[in-house]
Amino acid sequence: MEPFDSFLIWISEFLADHLYEGVFLAALLETIVPPIPTLAVFPTAGFLASQQGLSLFGLIPLIILGAIGATIGTTAIYLIALKLGRTILLRYLKFLKISEKKLERVEVWFEKYGDKAVFLGRMVPVMREMISVPAGLLKMKIPKFVLFTFSGSLIWSTGTILAGYYFGAGLEFII
């Protein structure tokens, strides 16, 4: 079994035992350590919530914790980009297999859509992890960044957790 598969199994087991903490931790880590897929974690959390008999009302804290974890994690990346600048940041991004070309595409998207790019970017796979970099590099105001990030993350968290809650039976192979 590959290390990544082992990690996903560990996350699933952690979620089963610590649902709320697990969603927060996974959301925080997925923004800082990009290989963690929220498309696997959040629906799994929703499925586990349904299996544990949580009501829809009980999902509200789960959804909010996912959004808060993502906001904290992505704000850390934003601050790193803001402080390091483009040249130094590119040196480190190549270790995460993020090329200058990929960064340029995200920057163009950010410049085209402005601050709304952060809100929309938090709901698009791959862009979720990257959007904080151009926001930091282009010095987006932090209150706006946090507000748009939290709002977009809240929608993402809601959609993916509810998908797992209602359609999670198809996710049993992950768990």
pLDDT value at position 86?
Answer: 77
Point out the residues of the chain with pLDDT beneath 50: 173-175
- Tell me the pLDDT tens digit for each residue of 118-139: 898 888 877 777 788 888 988 8
Phi-psi region of 99 (alpha: psi -120 to 50; beta: other; left: phi over 0): beta
Could you tell me if 47 and 165 are in contact, meaning their C-beta atoms sit under 8 angstroms apart? yes
- The pTM (predicted TM-score) of the whole model is 0.83
Ordered by start, the domain boundaries in the chain are 3-171
